[in-house]
């Protein structure tokens, strides 16, 4: 059941460029600038930062989506014209800070994509942990055509999803991937029919919310770091994380529940 966000978090209730609703342990954060195709201006990036830093107590997963015809048109180009190089660095770092809170914040984030997922919109989507794309989704990095470079973490995150060669092609040639192609190259993990993205995203987020918080933490924080390490260091880091996770009281209860027949089996879907 949808409800207003808890009154203990008035700060996130005041964010006018986001529509935020809690559905039990899942928080739905919707970018709400449809007239500008959810283009990310300074205020929206600051509000995303604030929302993800101040997730209400009890939230175990987030669904991020965009209001209107498109997920996100990227950087608000109307704010770009008068920036000096130094101001450009500060601006890019403000995106990094916000998207870091999405990727390495408190809980996993499921992005529900539709329409344009372009430029900074793709940078934001690539900060999320699971991406569900409706059939209408298309992906592009028009920075090259606009005389820009990615500045919202795209050069670090997107090659980790699709490889440097594909991102190079997107940026140099303006190549656009549709939803099916995006699935094939790794831009999303799911494609669903138009209008079905939110249902799928919420279903996935509810499953994520039922996991042990420490396991979710390990997947968000240990897994990508281990994947960036050399194998020897990675295996050692994995052992540490595994030992911490399995020593947790919650994990012991879950294992007992399975052994005593109280927990569900793995089922073919």
Q: Which of 30, 70, 129, 200 binds ligand 1HE (CB under 6 A)?
A: 70
State yes or no: residue 179 binds ligand 1HE (CB under 6 A): no
Handedness of CA 102, 103, 105, 106 (dihedral sign): positive
Q: Which of 10, 16, 19, 69 binds ligand 1HE (CB under 6 A)?
A: 69
State yes or no: residue 139 binds ligand 1HE (CB under 6 A): no
As annotated, the active-site residues are 123, 143
State yes or no: residue 146 binds ligand 1HE (CB under 6 A): yes
Q: What is the DSSP string of 27-93?
A: EEEEE--GGGTT-B-HHHHHHHHHHHHTPPTT--EEEEEESTT-SB--B-GGG-TT--HHHHHHHHH
State yes or no: residue 128 binds ligand 1HE (CB under 6 A): no
Handedness of CA 134, 138, 141, 143 (dihedral sign): negative
> Closest residue to ligand 1HE, Cβ-based?
119
Whole-angstrom distance, CA of residue 166 vs CA of residue 77: 25
Whole-angstrom distance, CA of residue 65 vs CA of residue 86: 31
Q: Which of 152, 182, 197, 201 binds ligand 1HE (CB under 6 A)?
A: 152
User: Token digits for 211?
Assistant: 């996991």
Identify the CA nearest to 32 among candidates 64, 78, 56.
64
State yes or no: residue 151 binds ligand 1HE (CB under 6 A): yes
Least distance from ligand 1HE to the Cβ atom of residue 251, Å = 39
Least distance from ligand 1HE to the Cβ atom of residue 96, Å = 9
Least distance from ligand 1HE to the Cβ atom of residue 92, Å = 6
**Which residues of this protein are in contact with ligand 1HE, per CB under 6 A?**
36-37, 39, 69-70, 73-78, 92, 95, 116, 118-120, 142-143, 146, 148, 150-152
């Amino acid at each position: 059941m949808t409800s207003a966000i808890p009154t203990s978090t008035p700060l996130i209730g005041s964010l006018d460029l986001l529509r935020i609703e809690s559905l039990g342990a899942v928080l739905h954060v919707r970018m709400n600038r449809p007239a500008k195709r959810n283009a990310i201006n300074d205020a929206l990036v600051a509000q995303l930062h604030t929302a993800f830093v101040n997730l209400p107590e009890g939230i175990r997963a987030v669904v991020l989506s965009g209001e209107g015809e498109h997920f996100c048109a990227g950087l608000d180009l109307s704010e770009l014209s008068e920036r000096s190089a130094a101001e450009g660095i500060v601006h890019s770092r403000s995106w990094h800070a916000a998207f870091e809170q999405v990727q390495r914040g408190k809980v996993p984030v499921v992005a529900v994509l539709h329409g344009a997922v372009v430029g900074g919109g793709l940078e934001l989507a690539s900060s999320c942990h699971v991406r569900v794309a409706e059939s209408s989704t298309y992906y592009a990095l028009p920075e090259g055509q606009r005389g820009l470079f990615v500045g919202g973490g795209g050069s670090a995150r997107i090659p980790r999803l699709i490889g440097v060669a594909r991102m190079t092609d997107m940026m140099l040639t303006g190549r656009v991937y549709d939803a099916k192609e995006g699935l094939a190259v790794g831009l999303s993990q799911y494609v669903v029919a138009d209008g079905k993205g939110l249902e799928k995203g919420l279903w996935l987020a509810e499953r994520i919310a039922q996991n042990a918080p420490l396991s979710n933490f390990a997947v968000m924080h240990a897994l990508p770091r281990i994947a960036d390490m050399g194998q020897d260091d990675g295996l050692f880091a994995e052992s540490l994380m595994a030992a911490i996770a399995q020593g947790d009281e919650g994990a012991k209860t879950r294992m007992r529940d399975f052994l005593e027949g109280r927990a569900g089996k793995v089922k073919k879907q």
